[in-house]
Structure 1
Amino acid sequence: MDYTRHTPYSDPGRYAALLDELPTDIPGLTAVIRSLVIHYRGGGIEFTGERLEEVNNRWVETILAVDQQRNGCPLTEPRKLEDRVAGCCRDFALLLVAALRHQGVPARTRIGFASYFVPGWNHDHVIAEYHNGERWVRVEAQIEPAEHWGFDVHDIPPGPFRSAAEVWLAFRAGEIDPDLYGVDPSLPIRGGWFIRDYVFLQAAHLNGDELLLWDGWGAMADDLEMDLTPTDELAALLVAADNGDEAAATKLHDWYTADPDLRPGQKIMVHSPTGTPPYRVDLATRQQVAD
């Protein structure tokens, strides 16, 4: 896959010109993005109604549309906290990916778990990574650089963030407690089934379907009452591809393209954190549709 090319999710569409004036350095880009987006749960503001629904802005073009309707100024101009678009980690990462692709830099989103927000807990998380000509560099676009993180947020080393596939294989080997992996320590959305679904999300994002973390399709489920061998095989391919195995990357892409249980179809189910009942979205029309 050519990661310099936009996907429907990263494409800024009619707002592409806004990306022309963005910085070209990673610290500068992440600073701009943190001024555009505020996390819907961790930003210090309680969002409700239409403001909370902004978390379902699946496409960068839509995120930029909301920002421009509210602020109507260059992206490099700082926004007030209350004027930023409500989103989540996926949106910070995807905006960085969009900006880098706009500049011709290979970039992609990565799905997994972060251990650096709460001691002893592993939050579901999305980061970005770009290729610097020699290797893929992982970037945390959501948080301010600070010494207390214990690592460079613009070049995350192995350990603080683990891909969903890595975590799944560790779970299957009995090396981790799956109940320490999920949305938040205060919520029951955690465990082996949750990690499994994130393996599917990881495969989707790797193949250019950068969906919301609460989108569902295909073989995803809220239990483990199925043959887990295909998930084991998928996770192993994802890890091998991450480690530079070209044959694994090719096999993974071919499998993803051919298997309707692995990739999202035209219509996906949305289990939004806004509290609305699950609903379907047509990804082609970008509209909510009846079941």
Structure 2
Amino acid sequence: MTEPAAVVDHAAHTPYTRPGRFAPLLAALPTDPPALSEVARNVIVHYRSADRQLPQETDDDIDLRWLEDILATDQRRHGTPLAEHRAPEQRLQGCCRDHTLLCVAALREHGLPARSRLGFAGYFQPGEHADHVVAEVWLEGRWRRFDPEIDAPREALPQPMDMPTAQLGSTGFVTAAQAWVGYRRGEVDPMDYGVAGVAELRGVRFLLEEVIQEVAHRFGDELLLWDSWGRMDAPGTPVTEDDERWTDEIAALLLAADAGDLDAERRLLERYRSDPGLHPGDTIVQASPRGRPPVQVRLRD
């Protein structure tokens, strides 16, 4: 298989996708996106599911950041192969990041380059561009993007298992860098981009912080969506002109790297490693979608 041109090895596990003693569970999974996504949805149920009441005693599942801990929790409850049916109320509570993390980990376990991508999906609610995480796998000489949460084609997303690169304003998935550049060019309203149903988690600050998250995930720090570090700040904190210029530089490097510019990707990786506004370091602040007070968390490895 021809490897992708990249400055990091996307087939290698990161501390977040490393399965530890549960590697055989991943090795038993399929690698084709539809079948693998079905397994991810079987193991993890979205914590904001509107069609069912999830048990309060599993609320803390959403803060499981390491795949090894996710698999350990699943196996304590079930002790069966990941493809064996779990009732929705007995699945781990998680979100798009967790569905994607499981898929990316399984693909890497099979030696396939894979990564998570952060951005905004326009296919959940008309007029909404909801923050979202999807997976990419290197297959047949190209990055194939797919959404593990989607179980069937829909009008706004006809090909969920092979998603084309979307344009701003479409109902597809656009990266955080695309959305930021669109805002800076006056092509999008930043208030249309954020967490669905949460007014304070949208707008310019949210776009800036999604760009930071996108870089982290690209280079193997697949953090929780409610983690913050570096130039991230409390919702509603004003974004300065310096913040905007800084984010312009990062977003431009991301877009150039996506277009195949390896020099831009190298410069982005160097910037990620050296810039304290971009790199998470040893300690991050973990907020909570449950409304709990933020806490400091020391990252392992």
Question: TM-score, length-normalised on structure 1?
Answer: 0.94
1:265 Cα offset (Å): 0.9
Aligned positions of 1:193-204 closer than 5 A? 193-204=205-216
Residues 122 and 181 in structure 1, CA contact (< 8 A), matched pair in contact too: yes
Q: Which residue of structure 2 lines up, in the alignment, with residue 216 of structure 1?
A: 228
Matched, 1:284 2:300: yes
Letter in 2 for 1:144: D
Over the residues paired in the alignment, what is the CA RMSD in angstroms? Answer: 1.4
Matched, 1:72 2:79: yes
Residues 9 and 209 in structure 1, CA contact (< 8 A), matched pair in contact too: yes
Q: Which residue of structure 1 lines up, in the alignment, with residue 253 of structure 2?
A: 237
1:275 Cα offset (Å): 1.4
Matched, 1:192 2:204: yes
CA gap 1:48/1:224 in 2 versus in 1, 3 angstroms: farther
SS at match of 1:281: strand
Q: Which residue of structure 2 lines up, in the alignment, with residue 266 of structure 1?
A: 282
1:47 Cα offset (Å): 4.1
Q: 1:101 aligns with which of 87, 108, 114?
A: 108
1:44 Cα offset (Å): 2.7
Q: Which residue of structure 1 lines up, in the alignment, with residue 137 of structure 2?
A: 130
Question: TM-score, length-normalised on structure 2?
Answer: 0.91
Higher relative contact order (CA 8 A, sep 6+): 2
The CA distance in 2 between the partners of 1:173 and 1:33, in whole Å, is: 37
Residues 139 and 156 in structure 1, CA contact (< 8 A), matched pair in contact too: yes
Residues 183 and 190 in structure 2, CA contact (< 8 A), matched pair in contact too: yes
The CA distance in 1 between the partners of 2:29 and 2:50, in whole Å, is: 24
> Which stretches in structure 2 are left out of the alignment for 5+ residues?
1-7, 167-171
Matched, 1:225 2:240: yes
SS at match of 1:148: coil
The CA distance in 2 between the partners of 1:217 and 1:47, in whole Å, is: 30
1:137 Cα offset (Å): 0.7
Which segments of structure 1 move beyond 2 Å, counting only runs of 4 or more? 42-50, 146-150, 185-188
1:246 Cα offset (Å): 0.8
> Which deviates more, 136-145 or 20-29?
20-29
SS at match of 2:180: helix
Deviations 1:119-169 (A, max 9, x none): 000000000001114111101001102343442111001220000000000
The CA distance in 2 between the partners of 1:50 and 1:209, in whole Å, is: 28
Identity fraction in percent: 46
Q: 1:148 aligns with which of 131, 148, 155?
A: 155
Aligned positions of 1:86-97 closer than 5 A? 86-97=93-104
1:46 Cα offset (Å): 3.7
Deviations 1:175-234 (A, max 9, x none): 101111110135331101101000000000001000011100011124313511111000
Residues 178 and 192 in structure 1, CA contact (< 8 A), matched pair in contact too: yes
Residues 107 and 114 in structure 2, CA contact (< 8 A), matched pair in contact too: yes
1:51 Cα offset (Å): 1.3
Residues 53 and 89 in structure 2, CA contact (< 8 A), matched pair in contact too: no
Q: Which residue of structure 2 lines up, in the alignment, with residue 35 of structure 1?
A: 42
CA gap 1:171/1:199 in 2 versus in 1, 3 angstroms: same
Matched, 1:251 2:267: yes
The CA distance in 1 between the partners of 2:285 and 2:57, in whole Å, is: 20
The number of residues matched between the two structures is 285
